Amino acid sequence: MDTGPVHAAAEHPIDEGVSAGELLQALTALGTQMLIGLSPQLLAGASVPSPQRGEPSFAPKLTRDDAYIDPAAAAEAVMHRINATIPEPGAWTWLGDQRLKLGPVRRFHGQLPSTAAPGQALSAVAEGEGHVPVLVTGEGGVVLTAVQPAGKKMTPAADWLRGQQQTPILGGRHE
CB 81 within 8 A of CB 90: no
pLDDT band, residue 2 (cuts 50/70/90): confident
- Cα four-point dihedral sign 172, 99, 104, 161: negative
Condensed to tens digits (0 to 9), the pLDDT of residues 110-143 reads: 999 999 999 999 998 989 888 999 999 999 999 9
Tell me: the pLDDT tens digits for 58-113? 888 999 999 999 999 999 999 999 999 999 999 999 998 899 999 999 999 999 99
Please write the tens of the pLDDT for every residue from 15-39.
888 999 999 999 999 999 999 999 9
pTM attached to this predicted model: 0.85
| Domains within the chain, CATH numbers bracketed | 1-59 (no CATH), 65-162 (3.10.25.10)
Distance between terminal CA atoms of the chain? 34
Residue 172 has pLDDT above 80, yes or no: no
- Give 52-100 as a DSSP string: PPS-----PPP-TGGGB--TTSBHHHHHHHHHHTTTTT--EEEETTEEE
Which of 72, 59, 66, 100 is CA-nearest to residue 85?
66
